[in-house]
Amino acid sequence: MAPGHVFWAIFYFACLCSASLANNAKVNFREKEKKILDQILGAGKYDARIRPSGINGTDGPAIVRINLFVRSIMTISDIKMEYSVQLTFREQWLDERLKFDDIGGRLKYLTLTEANRVWMPDLFFSNEKEGHFHNIIMPNVYIRIFPYGSVLYSIRISLTLACPMNLKLYPLDRQVCSLRMASYGWTTADLVFLWKEGDPVQVVKNLHLPRFTLEKFLTDYCNSKTNTGEYSCLKVDLLFKREFSYYLIQIYIPCCMLVIVSWVSFWLDQGAVPARVSLGVTTLLTMATQTSGINASLPPVSYTKAIDVWTGVCLTFVFGALLEFALVNYASRSDMHRENMKKKRREMEQASLDAASDLLDTDSNATFAMKPLVRHPGDPMALEKLRQCEVHMQAPKRPSCCRSWLSKFPTSPFKKVPCLGRGQCSRSKRIDVISRITFPLVFALFNLVYWSTYLFREEEED
């Protein structure tokens, strides 16, 4: 062959190679995806009503692996006993009918946005109250088909789920809220749900809740048996701890302040009736309003909650302070009546003694006076002698410790000196003095018992 012909042959071969490379560089893989989808999902080739086969093409149940990504937890309602969560829900299973050629590894997966084109597990959330998909701007859902027939289904949903709560330790409680997923129609002979190995549940970082803290979450299985068969079920338990600082500031400290304010009436004068009544009634009404506001944010339950014990005892202390003033007022009027009677009795005795002395003065000139053998009950001389005999016959009483301690307080309203005897003391003032010490001591003892009991019960719950 002539050298010129050889040159043109080589040139022609180089042109063919460059054209072939150019054609390969311009391959439209999206068109390839369309052809593959039409090939594997075409009419008469794939039936979405038939479930995939089991492992290794056997007649066993189809295995669907689940994993979740918790994006946010919006609200946890105590009164409705529910919580709202937004999550990305993913399912993955193997369908050998969807295998395709990946063109030498250039097609990693095929993407679908219509879930009805392939078989889907009939999963539902068994404790769901409300739920909706997200369609802004486009429906937040996709299906990926991998070359070896694996299918990945992912969707973003928002759910409102039931969460039965035990409020006996409220607000020192922990609540467990579950998310349950089960098969509706396929039994375990046809469909089995499993958690994805490794990390089945993921939670967004810095998850913030106003009144709760997500402590941890646990995954488990909850298969259920009915008269139609056994159904596969998965659940994840979210453990929430209630933030106590909010309730300490909003409930416990204000209630303590109201109880302490009600004790101010013990230090007011017993004659300041308007001030003590206004203070007692105001604190009682405020405490009642506080209690009703707390109960309005909680469901009506048949058992006693920790907050019920606290508000009930605080309301009792405030009511007791108001009753204490009623007792003081009654004792004050009784003391006044008793003192008036004593005063009248002394005046009558003084008048009788004056009359007797006048009688003796008039008979002083007589040389002899016969004393009657029998004294009448109204005779002033008989009364005086009887009183002297009683004074000499009474044995001296040893004062008790309590009476000696109370005698240090100026509890006599009619004398500006401390009580020296039982008859000279004011019972109304003594009630105030005892209340000033008794009420704080009993309230402090209640706090000790309350916090010890419920904090210990909280540790037992843990």
Whole-angstrom Cα distance, residue 322 to residue 258?
A: 13
The pLDDT confidence band at residue 344, using thresholds 50, 70 and 90, is: confident
Q: Is 456 left (phi over 0), alpha (psi -120 to 50) or beta?
A: alpha
Sequence-ordered list of residues with C-beta below 8 angstroms from that of 55, at least 6 positions apart, any chain: 63, 94
Mean pLDDT of all residues in the chain? 81
The runs of H, that is alpha helices, within 83-222 are: none
Predicted pLDDT at 346: 75
From 158-172, 211-225, 389-403, the region with the lowest mean pLDDT? 389-403
pTM (2 decimals)?
0.71
Indicate if the pLDDT at residue 410 is higher than 70.
no
Write the pLDDT tens digit of every residue in 306-326.
Answer: 999 999 999 999 999 999 888
So what's the pLDDT on residue 221? 94
Q: How far apart are CA 428 and CA 414, in angstroms?
A: 12
Query: Once rounded to an integer, what is the mean pLDDT over residues 20-39?
Result: 66
Is residue 57 left, alpha or beta, with left meaning phi > 0 and alpha meaning psi from -120 to 50?
left
